[in-house]
Structure 1
Amino acid sequence: MAVPAPTGDDVRQRRAIDLEELVVWTIRTQKADRDRVSLHAVELAAAVAIRRDHRPTGSFDSPGGWGVDSCIRVAEIGLAGTRVDGGGQIRGVSPRLHPDAEAVMAAIDQAFGSLKGWRRLILDQAREGGRPCWDLRRQRFVPVRNTAPQGGGRRHVVVSEWETVPPLSAVARRMIARGVGILDSRGRRKFQQAEPGFTYRTLDDGSRQVVVRWSAVELSPSDAEIREAREDYAAWHAGMMRVLGAVMDLPLRDYRVTGFAAPATPWVSEKDI
């Protein structure tokens, strides 16, 4: 929809707004991305042609004209130069789409063209009302969750292996060398053959081994998760910069875009530069 170029007074009266807030308002509040979702492909083509000031060839009911009733309505609305109240709200589409939202949505479509994935990222974040989360908190070690179908009833992965320990005779010699008695007042050894709760085995060479168990740990969030989150944010930021280039010179009626304040790499502090 063509909007007259604003005068100096109009510029002063328009609300200054950051691009991020403007895009969120356009998509989340105005739902401009859902405009025309109920149109058939033929109807959509008719609407696009009318918005470009094209006119149908022939009369509305002739072979060269619009051959569908709803297309006739679209054409008539376009030729009339106004919106016609044709009923209630359709599929969540606002019955009174703000002209600034319509202009911003058209700029977004123009900015990305065939880059559907990039466009989808911008729209998805706008619907959520924010930007991609790049800060996944400080990394810390956490137990590895047990995802095996039959994990023995354990919630986390438990790792075990045999570890060689000194023979009891060697333990006794070390105690004696330090002046520590190996017998109690009743003549019994102070250390047991095998400590309760531990599994021991004796090899052919006389050495002993004990089963040592521990919970496997991993970093959370992982390096891959952090890298993916930052890549998503970087892609969003680059896409918003494309939108900024398409929106900055738009003659909006009620808003004036001041720029795009979101940092490009918020995970890099000034002291790291």
Structure 2
Amino acid sequence: MALAYVRPDDHRLALDLEALLTWAIRDQQADRTGAALHPAEAIAHYGLLYGLPTGAGVYRTGISADGCAVIANRFEMGADIDGGGAIRGIPPRVHPDAELVAEALEWLPSSERRVIQDHARHTDRPVWLPLVSPLGKTLRPGHKPGRYRHIVADVGWEATPRQSEIAQRYFDRGVSLFDRLGRRRIVEEERGFQFRILGNGTRQVLTEWCPLEPKHSAEEIAQANEDYAFWHGAMEALHARLRARPMRDHRLTAFTAPARPWDDNP
């Protein structure tokens, strides 16, 4: 197990990878700073990141909001025309540590970058499912109100204790025969059930059952866990890259999300 050495005089804020991404992507919106670039500038920025030849695939269609052409226009007019200020939702200056996170994200494949950004904005992780799906009540379309209804079948009449016997059990356990609203407990608990009394005094209740089925299919489980594993691999790649990039005011700690949580919760 690798341990990170922390200098005693290191007063930077320690954040794990998920907390750092939430701050940089959701709060600082560092991944959106490219929205202020002219298309030519954005392509040039992309070329610098991935080593493309200068000017490759660049076509001039206008001028940027803060480029050389605008500066020349200001000099010629002797005035600065207010264009509405900063882009809504993006702070005028992004923290340099957040910019470093955004730059590290740019080196990831677009599919990995998108999934990391999406979960960072929502402050969550992909949903994973246990390998053995829990059982739930079977639902099928029905003609009654409500699109889906439980499948219920009658089993028959089964013997059940009389109310006097139930009351004696409550009394022996020290349980009040009245609920917190002052209602008779046994009457309220038996509400909705159907009973009958036989000639010998035996009481019976009409029992019903509902078949159970898995809540998730094998395909749904496999797809959900595959999506989680993809996100986890992308986060590990980003963590390795950021560990080699020292930040000014923040210190990256660990990435604590389990790689295969379904193995511990089968």
2:241 corresponding residue in structure 1: 246
Matched, 1:123 2:111: no
For the pair shown, the structure with the greater C-alpha radius of gyration is 1
1:28, CA displacement in angstroms? Answer: 1.1
1:98, CA displacement in angstroms? Answer: 0.7
TM norm structure 1: 0.56
d(CA) in 2 for partners of 1:27 and 1:258? 18
2:10 equivalent among 9, 12, 16: 12
1:181-200 correspondence runs (5 A): none
Structure 2 residue runs of 5 or longer lacking an equivalent are: 1-5, 72-81, 154-207
2:253 equivalent among 243, 252, 258: 258
Amino-acid identity (%): 38
Task: Please report the RMSD computed on the Cα atoms of aligned residues, expressed in angstroms.
Answer: 4.3
Structure 1 residue runs of 5 or longer lacking an equivalent are: 1-7, 58-65, 78-84, 161-212
1:1-273 correspondence runs (5 A): 12-46=10-44, 68-70=62-64, 73=67, 88-112=85-109, 116-135=110-129, 139-147=133-141, 151-153=142-144, 155-156=148-149, 217-269=212-264
Instruction: Output one character per residue of 1:14-70: Cα deviation in whole Å (capped at 9) or x when no partner.
Output: 222211211121111111121122433113235567999xxx99xxxxxxxx88542
1:97, CA displacement in angstroms? Answer: 0.6
Cα gap change, 1:72/1:33 in structure 2, threshold over 3 Å: closer, same or farther? closer
**SS state of the match for residue 12, structure 1?**
coil
The amino acid that maps onto 2:221 is I
**SS state of the match for residue 267, structure 1?**
helix
**SS state of the match for residue 36, structure 1?**
helix
d(CA) in 1 for partners of 2:43 and 2:151? 62
TM norm structure 2: 0.57
1:156, CA displacement in angstroms? Answer: 3.1
The amino acid that maps onto 1:130 is D
Instruction: Output one character per residue of 1:130-178: Cα deviation in whole Å (capped at 9) or x when no partner.
Output: 211325798443344334xxx4337337599xxxxxxxxxxxxxxxxxx
d(CA) in 2 for partners of 1:241 and 1:121? 13
State whether residues 46 and 74 of structure 1, in contact with CA within 8 Å, keep that contact through their aligned partners in structure 2: no
What is the aligned residue count? 193
